[in-house]
Structure 1
Amino acid sequence: MTRRVHEVMTRNPVTVERLTSLAEAARVMRDADIGDVLVVEEGRLRGILTDRDLVVRGLAEDRDPAETTVQAICSTEPLTVGPDDHVDEAVDLMRRHALRRLPVQTGSGELVGIVTLGDLEVERDPGSPLASIAAAAAAEEAARGR
């Protein structure tokens, strides 16, 4: 039986408002020990910001992290999947668009999770190196009470 996205996704994704500074977004990522945050406006998904975005689109372009907002450099209109979509659909979407993560939204637009390459690798091959890394990170996160 094919699994659904909600069975493998990370629930309660970390979000920041679109007018959050790059410096604050970086602190949020550091404190949550994650490499991305979802950018929202009034609770609606507006983009995704990765640690790579901070470096390549922010620091490397000499933007002031205290003055530049995440909306200035985040990827806008990210592709999403639904919680009841098949995992195979998420894998196909990630493969076709060379993505490492997909926000998960309900049909009404409620942001309910994020599915990552690590989540999918744990599903596909629990013994793979990527799955081991993802499982260790999840265990560490659980130990910290997240």
Structure 2
Amino acid sequence: MSDVMTARPRSLPRDATLHEAARLMRDEDIGGVLVTVAGRLCGMVTDRDIVVRALAEDRDPRIISLGEVCTADLATVRPDDDTATAVRLMRERAVRRLPVVDESRRPVGVVSLGDLAINDGLTAPTLEEIWRAPPNV
């Protein structure tokens, strides 16, 4: 996995606000931020989460914490996992990004559907199957 993942993923602590996450996503041109407690992965928040779980519900992103809206039940992979494991998890969980964590659950990377398409040569039917899976809300 370490050969296809994006290393040094961006993260924020669980008590950071959605506003902080949105600014980080804008500044870094990314679609998701890992959420941590004491440096260990505890969730992920995406641009879609901010829209669906906060803005559409008229919640103030300046006071809502990441811990209140992040997805906590995450599928993860390890740096030494193969890409087939990532593809299987993406299919099963209907996700387009997987955090890569070390043995202490500290984030070391993120592997995206795009990373796998570019670096692993996924076929169009496989990509479409994952892409069209119903989103997790």
Q: Do these two structures clear the TM 0.5 threshold for a shared fold by scoring above it?
A: yes
2:19 matched residue in structure 1: 23
Letter in 1 for 2:45: L
1:73 matched residue in structure 2: 69
Q: Do the aligned partners of 2:83 and 2:120 also contact (CA within 8 Å) in 1? A: no
1:100 aligns with 2:96: yes
Q: How many residues align?
A: 125
* CA–CA separation in structure 2 for the residues paired with 1:90 and 1:22: 27
* CA–CA separation in structure 1 for the residues paired with 2:15 and 2:40: 13
Could you list the runs of 4 or more consecutive aligned residues of structure 1 that deviate by over 3 angstroms after TM superposition? none
- Pick the structure with greater CA Rg: 1
Corresponding residue to 2:7 among 11, 18, 36: 11
Note the residue ranges of structure 1 that are not aligned, 5 or more in a row.
129-146
* CA–CA separation in structure 2 for the residues paired with 1:124 and 1:83: 15
Higher helix share: 1
1:111 aligns with 2:99: no
1:62 aligns with 2:62: no
2:41 matched residue in structure 1: 45
- Computed over aligned residues only, the root mean square deviation of the Cα atoms, in angstroms, reads 1.7
1:140 matched residue in structure 2: none
Structure 2 counterpart SS, 1:108? coil
- CA drift of 1:96 comes to 1.3
Corresponding residue to 2:118 among 122, 128, 143: 122
- CA drift of 1:125 comes to 2.8
Note the residue ranges of structure 2 that are not aligned, 5 or more in a row.
125-137
Q: Percent identity?
A: 50
